[in-house]
């Protein structure tokens, strides 16, 4: 019953409110069973020294922080309750930090916050003009970053004053403002509270004396209110001339043992003044959406209902609350449009960032195609040709001088020393009787002795520490020998194919003999570049906006994390289409990377990886508080993903248990599918292709859901 009275009379009603940060030894009690009553339509000055918990209290009141005990009712309901527009359109909020988009102009800033609060363009323009004038702000086209700190704070205040919400929360709005303007701001606040008879204002300030103009003040210390009443009543009670003296006196009393000042906190059912009694009975008629104020004189009726929606017939009230509930679950197009517009302005003002977004993947694909997967060239190979006849020289002549660069040595030990000293990759030894033994071997065939076979064999001493180069030299030597024997056999009138291996490499079913490692890796590189760039940009953008208080400010204005994410996807999607198209163009047209498949499948699959990366970026930003932590998390994820998703090496080479892990990672299916599309021309009828779309979608849903749950749990 007491609570019902409390919520009826008071726009904000807190009882036994507790909030702490940290756990165990690090537990820090910030609000310790705080009681507070802010009557409807009042200006409430919340006073207290730095660090006593004012900002924390305000955040609990607007539902931006979860409470650990007690109750809070803001405009009749728990803040953050489903369908309640706190946080949301019922609140105007000026946080302590500047919390503005630095690259926006004043006009764009006010326009953005006006849109979030559902104001029409003409209403925004009209109100902005007044506020700019009143707050002595310069031309509205000036960028926020070009303003002084004081001017930026005044724009922040203007953004909060733009609309006339039910509850206006101003956290130190007059800091750094000159006394004349401070006076004007207070006059304006009094005007808002008096003329409209609907806006409740809570204001924190370090200038205690200015709060003497408030209808009610709460003096806060150590996470509790020491006293709460009209300033004149408090001053009269202690026979002191100003509020500062009252505050000091109360702090002094609070330090005394066994002090009990509970009588200084009036009972919630006690109207806080006779003249304002009617204000306590103000309700809004939400059925018409007209912000019409309904006066209701019957206390009995009020106490039987909540303050919210009292003016509605029961049936209408239920249907309206249902509508609000549905609206709170469905992302609002208006919010998405406003936040997307904000993102577009941000991009327009950050051309260097936009260029970075386009250039990084382009540079990555160019560097990859230029540096990875091609055949090594100009490899120094030491050759010791001791053959007394000409076949040894003939063989040497067939060796490719593009791949190898030959260094002739007279002694095989010198050639091997070259390899030891790192001067050559291999040493080739053609023995003294090579020509003669080779001829004997050809003539005697199966009857050739081991000595003949050994004499006609060319020895290759290799540096196997670099496997890739060693394999290239081996392959080139085998190729050279095959060419050499076929020419030799032909010159003796034999069938030139007689010397070939009895395995024929027939026409490949997919790909061709010219297919390189570049073709193998290109799909993985494109997929991973898109994924990680989107991940990094999303994580950074959310963390920076959160750090600057921008996300909080948007959320207090009623934008939910889903809407912020959708708006981010909408704007980044355009950039991503450009990035991916440019990467594919460079890979296919400039570097001739093989693509046998449908370009549409490839494009959609890769763009989907961008969305997948954004979901991971959102998850990282939900888990990490700072950019450093996010960078560490992203790097910690990136390398394992690159190594285990089959981007660099086929997953078939992994042990079975690792293969199972690899297959559930977000990039494995898409990389294999992109490879199948590009290399084999496969389409949706093939399992690997459709299942990669399915796996990506599942990852996007999983990571986004997890992020939203974490955001909710942390109540950030
Ligand atoms: N997220 C947080 N994690 C840990 N401690 C916090 C957090 N937010 C605030 N605090 C701590 O809680 C205490 C109260 O902070 P709060 O910002 O509410 O004080 P305040 O009265 O508004 O002070 P000021 O006027 O200087 O802003 C401070 O000691 C602050 O360091």
Averaged pLDDT, 312-317: 48
How far does residue 38's CA lie from ligand 1's centre (Å)?
A: 22
Q: Which of 20, 31, 53, 206 to mutate to test the pocket of ligand 1 (most atoms within 8 A of CB)?
A: 53
Asked if 166 and 91 touch (Cβ cutoff 8 Å), the reply is yes
How far does residue 104's CA lie from ligand 1's centre (Å)?
A: 29
- 100: DSSP letter: -
Angle at 136 between CA 132 and CA 138, to 5 degrees: 70
Element (H, E) at 202: strand 200-204
pLDDT in tens, 62-109: 988 889 999 999 998 999 888 888 888 889 999 999 899 999 999 999
48 lines ligand 1 (CB under 6 A): yes
**pTM recorded for the entire structure:** 0.79
Asked if 470 and 463 touch (Cβ cutoff 8 Å), the reply is yes
Rg of the chain over all Cα atoms, to the nearest angstrom: 38
Q: Which of 21, 175, 220 to mutate to test the pocket of ligand 1 (most atoms within 8 A of CB)?
A: 21
450 lines ligand 1 (CB under 6 A): no
600 lines ligand 1 (CB under 6 A): no
Question: Which residue's CA is minimally distant from atom 24 of ligand 1?
Answer: 50
Structure tokens at 217: 């003040």
205 lines ligand 1 (CB under 6 A): no
pLDDT in tens, 443-472: 898 899 999 999 999 999 999 999 999 999
30 lines ligand 1 (CB under 6 A): yes
Sequence-distant (≥ 6) Cβ neighbours of residue 649 within 8 angstroms: none
Structure tokens at 619: 């998850």
Cα within 13 Å of Cα(107), Cβ side: 10
pLDDT of res. 309: 38
Q: Which atom of ligand 1 is nearest to the CA of 206?
A: 25
Question: Which residue's CA is minimally distant from atom 30 of ligand 1?
Answer: 51
Q: How does residue 265 score in pLDDT terms, banded at 50, 70 and 90?
A: low
**Taking phi first (over 0 means left), then psi (-120 to 50 degrees means alpha), and beta for anything else, what does residue 468 get?**
alpha
The answer on pLDDT for 596 being more than 70 is yes
Q: Which of 22, 34, 46, 55 to mutate to test the pocket of ligand 1 (most atoms within 8 A of CB)?
A: 55
Asked if 395 and 458 touch (Cβ cutoff 8 Å), the reply is yes
By three-state DSSP, how is residue 46 classified?
Answer: strand
- Residue 222 φ/ψ, nearest 5 degrees: 55, 40
Going by their DSSP bridges, the two strands 91-94 and 69-74 should be labelled as: unpaired
Per the DSSP assignment, residues forming a β-bridge with 237 are none
Question: Which residue's CA is minimally distant from atom 13 of ligand 1?
Answer: 51
59 lines ligand 1 (CB under 6 A): no
Asked if 708 and 564 touch (Cβ cutoff 8 Å), the reply is no
How far does residue 55's CA lie from ligand 1's centre (Å)?
A: 7
Dihedral sign (CA 276, 278, 281, 286): negative
Going by their DSSP bridges, the two strands 459-462 and 426-430 should be labelled as: antiparallel
ipTM over 0.90: yes
Q: Which residue has the tokens 């060693």?
A: 470
What percentage of the chain reaches a pLDDT higher than 70? 88
pLDDT in tens, 275-292: 444 343 333 333 333 333
Q: Which atom of ligand 1 is nearest to the CA of 56?
A: 18
Element (H, E) at 34: strand 28-39
User: How many beta carbons lie within 10 A of that of residue 559, not counting itself?
Assistant: 23
């Amino acid at each position: 019953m007491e609570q019902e009275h409390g919520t009826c009379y008071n726009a904000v009603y807190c009882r036994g409110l507790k909030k702490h940060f940290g756990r165990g030894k690090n537990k820090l009690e910030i609000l310790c069973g705080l009681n507070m009553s802010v009557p409807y339509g009042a200006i409430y000055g919340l006073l207290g020294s730095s660090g006593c918990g004012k900002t924390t209290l305000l955040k609990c009141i607007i539902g931006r922080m979860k409470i650990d005990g007690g109750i809070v009712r803001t405009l009749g309901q728990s803040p953050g309750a489903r369908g309640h527009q706190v946080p949301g359109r019922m609140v105007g909020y000026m946080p302590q930090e500047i919390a503005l988009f630095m690259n926006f102009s004043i006009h764009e800033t006010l326009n953005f916050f006006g849109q979030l609060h559902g104001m029409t363009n003409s209403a925004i323009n009209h109100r902005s003009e007044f506020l700019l004038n009143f707050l002595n702000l310069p031309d509205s086209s000036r960028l926020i970053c070009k303003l002084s700190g004081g001017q930026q704070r005044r724009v922040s205040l203007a953004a909060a004053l733009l609309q006339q919400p039910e509850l206006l929360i101003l956290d130190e709005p007059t800091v750094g403002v000159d006394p004349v303007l401070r006076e004007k701001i207070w006059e304006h606040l009094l005007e808002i509270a008096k003329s409209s008879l609907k806006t409740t204002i809570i204001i924190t300030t370090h200038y205690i004396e200015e709060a003497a103009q408030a209808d009610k003040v709460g003096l806060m210390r150590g996470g509790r209110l020491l006293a709460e009443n009209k300033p004149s009543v408090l001053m009269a009670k202690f026979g002191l001339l100003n509020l500062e003296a009252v505050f000091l006196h109360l702090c002094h009393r609070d330090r005394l043992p066994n002090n009990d000042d509970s009588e200084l906190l009036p009972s919630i059912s006690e109207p806080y003044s006779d003249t304002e009694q009617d204000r306590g009975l103000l309700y809004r008629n939400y059925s018409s959406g007209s912000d019409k104020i309904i006066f209701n004189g019957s206390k009995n009726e009020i106490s039987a209902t909540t303050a919210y929606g009292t003016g509605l017939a029961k049936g209408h009230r239920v249907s309206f609350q249902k509508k609000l509930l549905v609206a709170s679950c469905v992302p609002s197009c208006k919010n998405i449009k406003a936040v997307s517009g904000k993102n577009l302005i941000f991009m327009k003002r950050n051309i260097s960032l936009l260029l970075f977004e386009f250039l990084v993947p382009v540079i990555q694909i160019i560097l990859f195609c230029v540096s990875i997967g091609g055949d090594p060239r100009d490899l120094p190979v030491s050759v010791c040709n001791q053959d007394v006849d000409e076949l040894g020289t003939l063989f040497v002549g067939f060796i490719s001088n593009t791949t190898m660069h030959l260094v002739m040595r007279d002694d095989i030990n010198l050639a091997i020393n070259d390899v030891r000293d790192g001067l050559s990759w291999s040493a080739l030894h053609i023995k003294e009787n090579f020509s003669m033994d080779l001829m004997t071997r050809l003539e005697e065939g199966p009857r050739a002795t081991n000595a003949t076979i050994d004499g006609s064999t060319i020895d290759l001493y290799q540096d196997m520490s670099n496997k890739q180069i060693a394999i290239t030299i081996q392959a080139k030597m085998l190729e050279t020998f095959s060419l050499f024997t076929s020419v030799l056999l032909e010159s003796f009138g034999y069938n030139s194919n007689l010397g070939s291996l009895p395995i024929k490499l027939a026409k490949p079913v997919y790909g061709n003999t010219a297919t390189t490692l570049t073709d193998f890796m290109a799909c993985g590189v494109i997929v991973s570049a898109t994924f990680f760039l989107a991940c990094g940009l999303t994580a950074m953008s959310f963390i920076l906006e959160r750090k600057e208080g921008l996300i909080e400010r948007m959320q207090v204005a009623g934008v939910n994390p889903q809407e912020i994410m959708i708006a981010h996807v909408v704007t980044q999607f355009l950039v991503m289409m450009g990035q991916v198209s440019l990467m594919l163009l460079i890979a296919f047209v400039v570097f001739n990377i093989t693509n046998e498949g449908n370009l549409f499948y490839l494009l959609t699959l890769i763009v989907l990886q961008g969305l997948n990366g954004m979901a991971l970026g959102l998850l990282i930003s939900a888990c990490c508080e700072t950019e450093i932590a996010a960078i560490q998390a992203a790097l910690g994820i990136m390398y394992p993903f690159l190594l285990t998703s089959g981007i660099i090496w086929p997953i078939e080479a992994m042990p079975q248990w690792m293969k199972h892990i690899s297959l559930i990672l977000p990039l494995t299916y898409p990389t294999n599918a992109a490879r199948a599309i590009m290399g084999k021309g496969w389409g949706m009828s093939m399992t690997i292709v459709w299942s990669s779309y399915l796996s990506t979608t599942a990852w996007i849903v999983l990571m986004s859901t997890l992020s939203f749950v974490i955001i909710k749990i942390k109540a950030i």
